């Protein structure tokens, strides 16, 4: 995921071509109301994901019985939990540190 962020940042840098200053805002303190809204969205997202997995399993089972071959599009280990992209999480702290290193390498 970090490499994807770095590649996208490189892409933006090529488009913007900053001359003197580049300001990157990654993680900050969020107001309590926003945190509550994000929490609500994450819970709803988790329920939606669970329902989607159940439906996918039903379809796989049906296709298997009908002899239809299919391939997995994403390995279980390759899935990224978007719930960790929240202010104050370890992921955001690690991303911040990785971006500091990235910027030093680019300079």
Residue 88 is part of which domain span? Answer: 2-71+81-106
Q: Is 14 a member of any domain?
A: yes
Say if pTM beats, i.e. exceeds, 0.75. no
Q: Is 88 a member of any domain?
A: yes
Which one, of 58, 57, 63, 95, lies nearest residue 76 by Cα?
A: 57
In this predicted structure, what is the pLDDT of residue 76? 56
Q: Is 40 a member of any domain?
A: yes
In this predicted structure, what is the pLDDT of residue 73? 59
Q: Is 76 a member of any domain?
A: no
pLDDT one-digit tens code per residue, 22-81: 887 776 556 667 777 777 777 787 788 888 889 888 888 888 888 877 666 555 556 667
Q: Is 39 a member of any domain?
A: yes
Distance CA 57, CA 63 (A): 10
Into how many domains does the chain fold?
1
Q: Is 91 a member of any domain?
A: yes
């Amino acid at each position: 995921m970090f490499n994807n962020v770095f590649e996208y940042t490189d892409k933006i840098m090529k488009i913007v071509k900053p001359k003197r200053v580049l300001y990157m805002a990654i993680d900050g303190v969020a107001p309590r109301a926003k945190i509550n809204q994000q929490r609500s969205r994450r819970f709803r997202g988790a329920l939606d994901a669970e329902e989607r997995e159940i439906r996918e399993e039903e379809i796989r089972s049906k296709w298997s019985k009908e002899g239809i071959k299919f391939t997995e599009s994403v390995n279980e280990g390759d899935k990224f939990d978007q719930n960790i992209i929240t202010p104050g999480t370890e992921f955001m702290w690690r991303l911040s540190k990785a971006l500091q290193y990235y910027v030093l390498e680019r300079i």
